[in-house]
Amino acid sequence: MRANNLEQMFNQVVKYSLLLVAAIALIGGVSGFLVAGINGLVSALIGALVAFLFSVLTIASVFFGSKLSITGFYAVVLGGWLMKIVLFGIILVALRGQSFIEGGVLFATVVVTILGTLVVDSFAALRARIPVVE
């Protein structure tokens, strides 16, 4: 399905990102469980959730920024990016040294989820039929 306006495109991106993250959580959870037991399962689920939340924050900042002037757009996107960096640091500090975290599984899940959501974002943007000039 092709999007004909920004709201449709952003709705599609969120929907497909959620489906992707669910698949990665399932596959990563099973793989993590086979590799590291229950700690691997928990790490995979946390990694998928964190990456999805960051993806949604990116989608939201671009969506709300698109309603502003170009300066406002860049301010919102940059502010969202800075907020994500701070939030990621807080999450890493909170998870550091926890006995239920398997670092390799968490890292792999986050990387695969981020790459997957980038593919979803790119695919949706390339297939959208949104006029650039009014």
3-state secondary structure of 119: helix
Top-confidence residue, 132 or 111: 111
Tokens found for residue 115: 């790459």
Tokens found for residue 44: 């995979």
- DSSP H helical segments within 2-37, as ranges? 6-36
Contact in structure between 105 and 40 (CB atoms under 8 Å)? yes
Alpha-carbon distance of 133 to 15, in angstroms, equals 27
Alpha-carbon distance of 99 to 97, in angstroms, equals 6
**For 23-78, how does the pLDDT look when each residue is reduced to its tens digit (9 = 90+)?**
999 999 999 999 999 999 999 999 989 888 888 888 888 888 888 898 998 999 89
Alpha-carbon distance of 127 to 134, in angstroms, equals 19
Handedness of CA 107, 113, 119, 124 (dihedral sign): negative
Q: What is the pLDDT of residue 134?
A: 58
Indicate the domain borders of the chain. 6-127
pTM of the model: 0.79
